[in-house]
Structures are given as C-alpha cells and as structure tokens.
Amino acid sequence: MVKEECNKGYISINQYDGKMRRTTVRNMARGTNFRALFMMALMFSSVFLMVIPYATAQVHIKPTLTISSLNPQSRDVVVTPSSIGAATFSATVSVTKPPAVGTVMVQVDGTISTGWTTVVSPQTIPFTSPGDIQISVTVVVPQATPTSSIGKVQINGLATYPGGNAQAMTSATVTVVQYYRIQPQAVQSFVTVTPGGQAVLTLDLYNRGNGLDTIVIEITNLKEMSKKSWMVSATAYEVSNVVQDEYGTIKIFVRTQKPPYGIDHKMAEPNYIQLNVKSGNADIAGQSVIKTYVFAVVVDGWGLPGFDITFLIMAFAMVASYLAYRQKKIR
C-alpha cells in the first residue's frame, strides 16, 4: 500500500510537473511572439521617425540666393571729350534648394546712382539644381563726364520658385579719372600801335578738361622783346580753380619802342608776342598739356621821340642857342 501510494504520489507529481512544463512552454512562446511584435513595431517606428522628419524638413527648407561681392570693388574709368568709358565687374550668383522644390528662376538687374547705363549678363538664370554661375556687369560712362561724378553700382537679384522668393544684392564704385584740356582764345589776336605806343591784349583761358584746373602762361620771347626795347608784362601768370568749360582772363600790356630822335615813321612792322599756356594740374599729375598762342602787334604810323637824356641835351642845346641868338640880335 505504501508503495502504491508512493507510486501514486510520484505519478501525481510527475503529472503536475508535466502540466507545469507545458504551461511554461506556452508562456515562453507567448513571450517570444510579444517580443517579436515589439521589435517589429520598434523597427517600423524607427524608420517612420527617420523618414517622416526628413521628408517634412525637405518640404519646409526654402531655397536661398546669394551674390558674391563685385570684383573688383571699385574701378577708375577714363573718358575724353569725344569718347565714352566703360567699367567691367564680375560676381558669382549661387542658389541652394532641396530636391522637392522645382526650378528656381533668378533675375539679376543693375542700377547706378549717376544714371549711367548698366548691363548685366546673363540677366535671367534658371537653376534646376543647386549651383552657381558667374555674371558680368558693365557700366558705360558718357563722354566728357566730370571727374567729380562717382557712381555706386548696385546689383539686385530675385529668385522665384513655387511658393515663394528670395533676394540678394551687392555693390561697387565707379570713379571717373580726370583728363586735362586747355584752350587759349582771344577776341582779337592782333593790334596796331604807333611807334612808342602801347596796347592791352586780352586772353581767355578755357578749361576743356573734366575737373578743376589751374592754367599757367609763360611769355617765351620776353628776352627778345626786351632787346627791342619793348615792355611786355601780364596782370597775372596763372588763373586758379577754373571749372569745366569755364575760363579765366589775363591781360598783357605791351609798350613798343619809342623813337630815340625826332619823329619816326613805321610802316606795318609786325612783331609777335609768343605764349606757352599750360595745365597746372596736369603738371602735378605728371602729365604735360601745353598750348601755344601768338599775339601780333603791328607798328604803323608816326611816333614822337622818347624823352631820353640825349633828347633832353639836344633840346636844352637848341633852347640855349636860340636864347643866345635873341640876346645877340637885341644888342
């Protein structure tokens, strides 16, 4: 009986143990399935978290437009009274954009503060993908433009795309180089005087350059005139700060040789006053701008003798002789 009970007990224990094992297996299987489902859910959520924000970011990132500084930042332009000048610059236009955005159209325009003509090439640029392209900018400066004219050129860019736009700008400076031109001019370039007479010559000095100038004169044959006993002098030998297309005036005084003895007659004898007219500002700039001008002084007619010592001696001698003759006659 005891053995059977023991066997029964053993059998019942084994049976219970078998139940425990089957339950454990089922629980483990259920746990494994749950963990698998959990891992799959975690994997899908990770992919979702990775893809969706990226796609969302792609939608919300906007294209950008930049224009580099103009190269160079300033240019000097040379013009003349009869020819125009030009200044050329370069710059780089860059666009960034996400793939989700279509074509970005960029329009580039140029203006300048002085109103000169500004040409941009190319002016319209399509960007189907991120990138950059170089543009050129040319500023045309009219002839005879004053050197005081300083232009600020500005480049404006506008990028348009579906749903918005972006802007950018850059700038540079254009300076006009001074050129020097002078023009001596007189209403009357010749005069007629009697022997021993005098004349006043008027000379207008025009500044035909494009900036302030000081105009200087020099009488180049002054020594030659002095040897002829002529007196030649000017009221001034320069006129300062003459503005463009204006003039300054100087006067030259000329006195011809007086007849040394008796009454002298001259018939159309021409003499010349030779002048060099220079740009003073051109000299300072290391340039040479010189014009020549000639006045003709024609000596014609009768002239009275000059009151020199010889003439006075002769006059006193004649008076003394006459007085002596009168006294002798009275006696």
CATH fold match for the domains 64-176 and 182-309: yes
* pLDDT of 123: 96
pLDDT value at residue 6: 46
Token pair, residue 73, equals 């930042």
Q: How far apart are CA 241 and CA 22, in angstroms?
A: 117
pLDDT score recorded for residue 5:
46
- What's the confidence (pLDDT) of residue 259? 74
Which CATH homologous superfamily contains domain 64-176?
A: Immunoglobulins (2.60.40.10)
Topology (CATH level 3) of domain 182-309: Immunoglobulin-like (2.60.40)
Rg (CA), the chain: 52
Which residue, among 179, 119, 125, has the nearest Cα to 153 in the 3D structure?
Answer: 119
**Domain residue ranges of the chain, discontinuous segments joined by +:** 64-176, 182-309
Count of other CB atoms within 10 angstroms of residue 254: 20
In the chain, alpha helices (H): 2-60, 222-227, 280-284, 309-330
pLDDT of amino acid 7:
47
Residue 278, pLDDT score? 97
Asked whether the beta carbons of 65 and 93 are under 8 A apart, the reply is: yes
End-to-end CA separation in angstroms for the chain: 222
* Residue-level pLDDT at 2: 44
- The alpha carbon of 68 is separated from its chain's Cα centroid by a whole number of angstroms, namely 20
**This prediction's pTM:** 0.68
Q: What is the mean pLDDT of each run of 10 residues along the chain (331 residues)?
A: 45 47 54 61 56 47 94 96 96 94 96 96 96 97 94 97 95 97 95 90 97 97 93 95 96 87 70 96 95 94 59 59 63 61
CB neighbour list of residue 207: distance below 8 Å, 6 or more residues apart? 181, 182, 213, 215, 242, 243, 244, 245, 246, 247
- Say what the pLDDT of residue 300 is: 84
Q: How many residues appear in the chain? A: 331
Alpha carbon 269 to its chain centroid, in Å, reads 54
